[in-house]
């Protein structure tokens, strides 16, 4: 997965930046449907990471799966960091 991350660094940087912007604009989920949606995204990330770690999907499909797991993970990390930044700025 490290060689994949080194070749996809522009996409990973862009998805992290997009997540930071979305997280900063919307904040952390407060309502029940928003928390459910965020939980489903993290559940999807866990499923993608599990499939990528076990190597059950070979070939081009496996490459797409691993790429999707990395990019979704970077986006979700950016969303959480942006939401926490918004929360920290609101409290000061």
pLDDT at position 48 is 92
Question: 3 falls in which pLDDT band (50, 70, 90)?
Answer: confident
Question: 55 falls in which pLDDT band (50, 70, 90)?
Answer: confident
82 pLDDT more than 90:
yes
**Mean pLDDT over each residue of the chain, to the nearest integer:** 92
Instruction: Compute the radius of gyration of the chain from its Cα atoms.
Output: 15
Taking the model in full, what pTM does it have?
A: 0.89
Q: Where are the alpha helices (DSSP H) in the chain?
A: 2-7, 9-26, 32-54, 59-91
């Amino acid at each position: 997965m490290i060689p994949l991350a080194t070749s996809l660094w522009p996409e990973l940087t862009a998805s992290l930046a997009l997540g930071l912007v979305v997280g900063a604009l919307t904040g952390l989920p407060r309502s029940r449907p928003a928390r459910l949606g965020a939980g489903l995204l993290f559940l999807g990330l866990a499923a993608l990471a599990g499939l990528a770690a076990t190597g059950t999907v070979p070939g081009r499909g496996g490459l797409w799966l691993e790429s999707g797991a990395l990019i979704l993970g970077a986006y979700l990390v950016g969303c959480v960091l942006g939401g926490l930044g918004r929360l920290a700025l609101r409290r000061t």
